[in-house]
Amino acid sequence: MIYLTRKEHFNAAHKLFNPNWTDEQNEAVFGKCANKNWHGHNFDLYVTLEGTPDSETGFVMDLKKMSNIIKREVIDILDHSNINMDVPFMAGKMASTENIAMGIWNQLEKHLTAENYRLYSIKLYETERNFVEYFGPQGRR
Amino acid sequence: MIYLTRKEHFNAAHKLFNPNWTDEQNEAVFGKCANKNWHGHNFDLYVTLEGTPDSETGFVMDLKKMSNIIKREVIDILDHSNINMDVPFMAGKMASTENIAMGIWNQLEKHLTAENYRLYSIKLYETERNFVEYFGPQGRR
Amino acid sequence: MIYLTRKEHFNAAHKLFNPNWTDEQNEAVFGKCANKNWHGHNFDLYVTLEGTPDSETGFVMDLKKMSNIIKREVIDILDHSNINMDVPFMAGKMASTENIAMGIWNQLEKHLTAENYRLYSIKLYETERNFVEYFGPQGRR
Amino acid sequence: MIYLTRKEHFNAAHKLFNPNWTDEQNEAVFGKCANKNWHGHNFDLYVTLEGTPDSETGFVMDLKKMSNIIKREVIDILDHSNINMDVPFMAGKMASTENIAMGIWNQLEKHLTAENYRLYSIKLYETERNFVEYFGPQGRR
Amino acid sequence: MIYLTRKEHFNAAHKLFNPNWTDEQNEAVFGKCANKNWHGHNFDLYVTLEGTPDSETGFVMDLKKMSNIIKREVIDILDHSNINMDVPFMAGKMASTENIAMGIWNQLEKHLTAENYRLYSIKLYETERNFVEYFGPQGRR
Amino acid sequence: MIYLTRKEHFNAAHKLFNPNWTDEQNEAVFGKCANKNWHGHNFDLYVTLEGTPDSETGFVMDLKKMSNIIKREVIDILDHSNINMDVPFMAGKMASTENIAMGIWNQLEKHLTAENYRLYSIKLYETERNFVEYFGPQGRR
């Protein structure tokens, strides 16, 4: 087994705001992140596959194909978007980095599974200092 | 003369949208950057002073004081903001990186001038790949 | 399970010097790192929690609270310190990156444990090229 | 157990070209990477040991000794080389990042094993956006 | 005047070899860089314009158009190339970073000149530790 | 004219403490930086030459020779040192980043001057967020 990672990037607006709470509760819990007029980030996304290299190519997966799938299923939807308003797979969810990473996993899993590899992890940086890593619903193996 | 730089950071939403144009014109010129629901960035800001070190401290300026001024005059206003809607010094201007950098210069110039130093440049990264540098209305000297 | 990481930073002096050895032995084993007048580093610290997001907030843990705990228990003690002389939790220990990381784990573990999360790992960079990662006394799980 | 990592660097030329295929097949699968005149990269290599710190030194392993071994067994062979033509341990293999990482593991394993530590992983960046990680033939433990 | 920079990237092979010299002379002067089988790098390219923002867009130049011109005139030619063999604008020149930067200036200058801006500088990183900056044949102004 | 830069690195301890002042004055002005037991940093140093490439080599200066001179005149003296106690060219000076950069200029100027190049600037990072740039006693030209 070897682990292959591709880094992609998107810029988006979001806010942290729980619609079941008052403005005061949102302000108390989320502070500036609850700004009703939104704020935004440059998100860095690392997608990792676990697999075995193909004997003819030496590749776990062709990185250009992998990049194209990530772009089609994730980046084209999230880049220059408002995560709370524009992204179908985040509808009705808090736009936390944790939830975005889990949503990205769900977008990608079935497209990044083949005989010799499977999706292993999603690592998502909201800023250089804050990031999450998700290994799917069955957890780190 | 020696040049002293402090790096600060803010996260904000914006869009590129000219209100004198139709939606179609905005879309044609600004593409995804015109998304009416906003997008956002992690901005990196470098503020540079030109000056001579004080003989008692060895400092052009105390970096803690410099950082506090940048925070009070710029970061507290821009961080977790919507640049088009929330930032008085950007009101009525296109929220391009060029214009934000010039706005930051105007916010800081009078607070970063003293006997032994003056504001020299503002460098603003919108993403790791796109940035501008501004040397004030008199240009690079 | 999802893994949430916060990056913090401290600057400190240290030396690698075993008081049970002669100066010659220290010089032979530690080289320049044994300089009796100290040297120092900008340390980058990554603290990772393992947990499940809260359904109301979408957070494993509020990053501002997490950052405040790391600052209070670790950064306020280590930043601008001499690790050999000023840091109670390193007293009597070699100031290697390995031992500092384990000391930081002990400082943080009880403050970063709750119903829905626990401390998972401490990653400590001494330089961009040298770093350690520690998963607690029970090892990587 | 604690994990100690050293970062090293090498610059090399390579191409992705399967000699059992026609030029057209190589072009179709590898695109620009099959350029018969080669291309190249700055590779970043992270070597990680798993071990317990020595009680006298606080070290899992002396990083200078670790760096010297990596230089002798890997960097001196790969740096400023043509990976397809000049590197004995890659002879007859596709020069994919996956295969280079596995070749580096084989070069290092026996030299980075001792009573208190063993080689844990090889992480190899071909570019900032493409990298692989390998944990040996027995896989991640 | 404000300065707008776009970062692009290419991977290429090259060698430093003066055909007027013997192999021994080349080896003596260029060391490993003269390897007859080539080596390579990930080059980072920063292109800077000097100009005034357009009042309707807030832009010195549309970064997408700027990026497309750099790709067409420079990146498509250099990326995944052998700089000594494949690049018309480097034919007959030593493939030093200095000469590549000057060649890139010549490729771009006429395409990055307009009423409100002109090409200001080319900054080219061969590695993170080695880079050059060129301001055109008239020098830094 | 073209500008050639080499990045080097050193780790050192220092404190900011004016011996003509009381401890209280030092504490009031320098805060934690006055810790009598020292603190330290990983310093990044960028040395830039201004020159014209040699027609035979394509080089302003051979980077290996340039690196060796910087190591001999600067890095071997500063690395793993206490800047206040161990560094002859800093004796009797405040160990501010400004003064260290000016000291490095003086160490290097006469060794990095030749027919086709001269020392142009010293850029010194104390941390990723604080740095200075010095162009010599005659200032930026």
pLDDT tens profile C30-51: 999 999 999 999 999 999 999 9
Contact status of F98 with chain B (Cβ, < 8 Å): yes
Contact status of A53 with chain D (Cβ, < 8 Å): yes
Contact status of A5 with chain D (Cβ, < 8 Å): yes
What's the pLDDT band for C54 if we cut at 50, 70, 90?
A: very high
Nearest Cα to E18, choosing from E28, E4, E9, E5? Answer: E28
Distance (Å) of CA B38 to CA A39, A75, A84, B95, C105: 9, 16, 11, 11, 41
Looking at residue E141, its pLDDT comes to 79
Identity (one letter) of the amino acid at A124? Answer: L
To 5 degrees, how large is the angle CA E81–CA E85–CA E90? Answer: 90
Judge residue E92's burial from the number of C-beta atoms within 10 Å of its C-beta, 0-12 exposed, 13-18 middle, 19 or more buried: exposed
Asked if the model's pLDDT at residue E74 lies above 90, the reply is: yes
Please give the Cα distance from E82 to D128 (Å, whole number). 21
DSSP three-state, residue C93? coil
Say yes or no for a CB contact (<8 Å) between A40 and B128: no
Please give the Cα distance from A84 to C14 (Å, whole number). 47
Say yes or no for a CB contact (<8 Å) between F11 and C82: no
| Model confidence pLDDT, tens digit, residues A44-58 | 999 999 999 999 999
Q: How many CB contacts within 8 angstroms connect chain A with chain C?
A: 54
Please give the Cα distance from E124 to A77 (Å, whole number). 33
Cβ pair B35, B17 in contact under 8 A: no
Contacts of C56 in chain A (CB under 8 A): 18, 20-21, 94
Look up the CATH superfamily of D2-134: 6-pyruvoyl tetrahydropterin synthase/QueD (3.30.479.10)
Asked if the model's pLDDT at residue B141 lies above 90, the reply is: no
Shortest CA distance from C45: residue in chain A: A129
| Phi and psi, residue D54, nearest 5° | -65, 135
Nearest Cα to D58, choosing from E113, F16, C90, C9? Answer: C90
To 5 degrees, how large is the angle CA A32–CA A97–CA C136? Answer: 110
Please give the Cα distance from B40 to B83 (Å, whole number). 9
CA A72 to chain centre: 13
Cβ pair B63, B54 in contact under 8 A: no
Give the up-direction half-sphere exposure of residue F57: CA atoms within 13 A in the CB hemisphere: 18
What's the pLDDT band for E14 if we cut at 50, 70, 90?
A: very high
Say yes or no for a CB contact (<8 Å) between A133 and C1: no
Q: Is E56 a catalytic residue?
A: no
- For residue D37, give how far its alpha carbon lies from the nearest alpha carbon of chain C (Å): 33
Shortest CA distance from F65: residue in chain E: E29
Longest dimension (CA), chain C: 61
Buried b (16+ CB within 10 A) or exposed e, E16-30: bbbeebeeeebbebb
Looking at residue F1, its pLDDT comes to 95
| Model confidence pLDDT, tens digit, residues B119-131 | 999 999 999 999 9
Q: Is B126 a catalytic residue?
A: yes
| Phi and psi, residue E124, nearest 5° | -130, 120
Say yes or no for a CB contact (<8 Å) between A18 and C63: no
| Helix (H) or strand (E) segment spanning residue F108 | helix F97-108
Tens of each residue's pLDDT in chain A, 141 residues: 999 999 999 999 999 999 999 999 999 999 999 999 999 999 999 999 999 999 999 999 999 999 999 999 999 999 999 999 999 999 999 999 999 999 999 999 999 999 999 999 999 999 999 999 999 999 997
- For residue F85, give how far its alpha carbon lies from the nearest alpha carbon of chain C (Å): 7
- Mean of the per-residue pLDDT values for chain B? 97
pTM score over 0.95: yes
Contact status of E42 with chain D (Cβ, < 8 Å): yes
Looking at residue C141, its pLDDT comes to 79
Shortest CA distance from C101: residue in chain D: D2
For residue D30 the two structure tokens come to 């590898």
| Model confidence pLDDT, tens digit, residues C91-139 | 999 999 999 999 999 999 999 999 999 999 999 999 999 999 999 999 9
CB atoms within 10 A of CB D64: 13
> Active site residue: C8, C14, C73, C126, which one?
C126
Residues β-bridged to residue F14:
F39
Nearest Cα to B105, choosing from B49, B40, B41? Answer: B49
Cβ pair A43, A125 in contact under 8 A: yes
| Model confidence pLDDT, tens digit, residues B57-78 | 999 999 999 999 999 999 999 9
Contacts of E58 in chain B (CB under 8 A): 16, 93-96, 98-99
Q: Which residues of A are catalytic?
A: 33, 80, 126
C with D: 3 or more CB pairs under 8 Å?
yes
Judge residue A109's burial from the number of C-beta atoms within 10 Å of its C-beta, 0-12 exposed, 13-18 middle, 19 or more buried: middle
Cβ pair D36, D21 in contact under 8 A: no
Handedness of CA D45, D51, D52, D54 (dihedral sign): negative
Contacts of D62 in chain C (CB under 8 A): 29
Q: Given the DSSP bridges, would you call strands E81-82 and E2-14 parallel, antiparallel or unpaired?
A: parallel
In this complex, which of A98, A128, A131 lies closest to C53 when CB atoms are compared? A98
Buried b (16+ CB within 10 A) or exposed e, F100-128: bbbbbbebbeeebeeeebebbbbbbbbbe
| Phi and psi, residue C121, nearest 5° | -155, 160
| Model confidence pLDDT, tens digit, residues A77-102 | 999 999 999 999 999 999 999 999 99
DSSP three-state, residue B47? strand
DSSP letters, A47-101, are EEEEE---TTT--SS-HHHHHHHHIIIIIHHHTTEEHHHH-GGGTTS---HHHHH
Q: Which of C14, C83, C96, C135 to mutate to test the interface with D (most CBs of D within 10 A)?
A: C96
Residue A21 carries which DSSP code?
S
Looking at residue F141, its pLDDT comes to 78
| Phi and psi, residue C4, nearest 5° | -115, 130
Across chain D, how many H-helices and E-strands are there?
A: 5, 5
ipTM: 0.96
Please give the Cα distance from B13 to B39 (Å, whole number). 5
Nearest Cα to D82, choosing from A64, A55, E82, F62? Answer: E82
Residue B107 carries which DSSP code?
H
Q: Which residues of D are catalytic?
A: 33, 80, 126
Please give the Cα distance from C97 to D2 (Å, whole number). 11
Shortest CA distance from F93: residue in chain B: B58
Say yes or no for a CB contact (<8 Å) between D81 and E39: yes
To 5 degrees, how large is the angle CA A69–CA A70–CA A71? Answer: 90
> Active site residue: E9, E39, E80, E133, which one?
E80
Tens of each residue's pLDDT in chain D, 141 residues: 999 999 999 999 999 999 999 999 999 999 999 999 999 999 999 999 999 999 999 999 999 999 999 999 999 999 999 999 999 999 999 999 999 999 999 999 999 999 999 999 999 999 999 999 999 999 997
Say yes or no for a CB contact (<8 Å) between C40 and F37: no
> Active site residue: E8, E14, E73, E126, which one?
E126
Helix, strand, coil share (%) of chain D residues, nearest 5: 35, 30, 30
| Model confidence pLDDT, tens digit, residues F24-64 | 999 999 999 999 999 999 999 999 999 999 999 999 999 99
Q: Is C109 a catalytic residue?
A: no
Say yes or no for a CB contact (<8 Å) between F58 and E134: no
- For residue A127, give how far its alpha carbon lies from the nearest alpha carbon of chain B (Å): 7
Contacts of D38 in chain E (CB under 8 A): 13, 38, 40, 82
Longest dimension (CA), chain B: 61
Q: Given the DSSP bridges, would you call strands F2-14 and C81-82 parallel, antiparallel or unpaired?
A: unpaired
Say yes or no for a CB contact (<8 Å) between E58 and B102: no
Say yes or no for a CB contact (<8 Å) between E64 and B93: no
Say yes or no for a CB contact (<8 Å) between B35 and A82: yes
Say yes or no for a CB contact (<8 Å) between F38 and C42: no
% of chain B surpassing 90 pLDDT: 99
Contacts of E85 in chain D (CB under 8 A): 37
Residue with the two structure tokens 């317990």: D52
> Active site residue: C27, C33, C50, C111, which one?
C33
Q: How many CB contacts within 8 angstroms connect chain C with chain D?
A: 54
Q: What average pLDDT does the segment F109-114 reach?
A: 98
Say yes or no for a CB contact (<8 Å) between C134 and D53: no
- For residue A22, give how far its alpha carbon lies from the nearest alpha carbon of chain D (Å): 42
> Active site residue: B8, B14, B73, B126, which one?
B126
Q: Which residues contact E29 (CB under 8 A, 6 or more apart)?
A: E18, E21, F57, F62
